[in-house]
Amino acid sequence: MKTVLILLLSIFTMGTLTAQENFYDFVVKDITGDDFKLADLKGKKVMVVNTASKCGLTPQYEKLEALYKQYGNENFVIVGFPANNFMKQEPGTNEEIASFCSINYGVTFPMMSKISVKGKDMHPLYQWLTEKDKNGFEDSSISWNFQKYLIDEEGNLVKVVSPRTDPMDDEIIAWLEK
């Protein structure tokens, strides 16, 4: 009986240590390489977006920044994740990406270090975002640069938004204002 109890306790402990149950469980690296705890965003709505500097959708940075300036306060934040997964459209270093975003679009929302958003080297956060068994919402795949994931104030994935959808789309604005 004691052995069974120890075995069950071990299995339970292993499961809780490896599972990412919530968006807030993740710590990522910002564009300067410092830790960025997503737990610090508790109570805010969050838009996670994979970005690229040499994409036909790159001008979305302008609309993302406008959205952030209009709604970004204690209740909303955009978190950008540069990725080079689509036709090598984000070839730059973190420093080059930060400079590009600042000079060309005046980006002030948090930008993270470049990661992979698909494939065998997919970042664990994007595994959580794209796998229903991890996020509890739905399976999705990253179809292109500037795909948007909407996270509610409790850290739950609530919507996946197409890369081609304008960041100022009525559906996104309605979500922010409710």
CA geometry: angle 152, 158, 162, nearest 5 deg: 120
Q: 3-class SS at 152?
A: coil
Distance CA 29, CA 36 (A): 5
Distance CA 81, CA 142 (A): 13
The one catalytic residue among 55, 66, 158, 173: 55
Active site residue 55: yes
Provide the sign of the torsion angle of the four alpha carbons 141, 60, 177, 108, taken in this order.
positive
- The residues that are catalytic are 55
